Amino acid sequence: SLLDVVVNKEVDLDGFGACEGTLTCSTCHVILSKEVYASLARPTDEELDMLDLAFDLTDTSRLGCQIT
């Protein structure tokens, strides 16, 4: 997942991925281009529920820990 990339590459994003991909936070919120968003599998209902809590939600928002 995108969260794995951030962790494995030691990208310094303070607070990103606080729940380590267990879908209990929204700190991995990312906003994608329409093209990238459309190329991905649809988000699950669980991801959509957590996305509803994300700050500054957009039509192309995803949770980075769910993007593979």
Query: CA triplet 17, 46, 64: central angle to 5 degrees?
Result: 30
Residue type (1 letter), 55: F
Among 6, 19, 30, 31, binds ligand FES (CB under 6 A): 19
d(CA 41, CA 34): 13
* Minimum CB distance to ligand FES, residue 26 (Å): 6
C-alpha span between 56 and 8 (Å, rounded): 27
Site for ligand FES contains 3 (CB under 6 A): yes
- One residue of 6, 7, 23, 31 binding ligand FES per CB under 6 A: 23
Give yes or no for residue 50 binding ligand FES (CB under 6 A).
Answer: yes
The reply on whether position 51 binds ligand FES by CB under 6 A is no
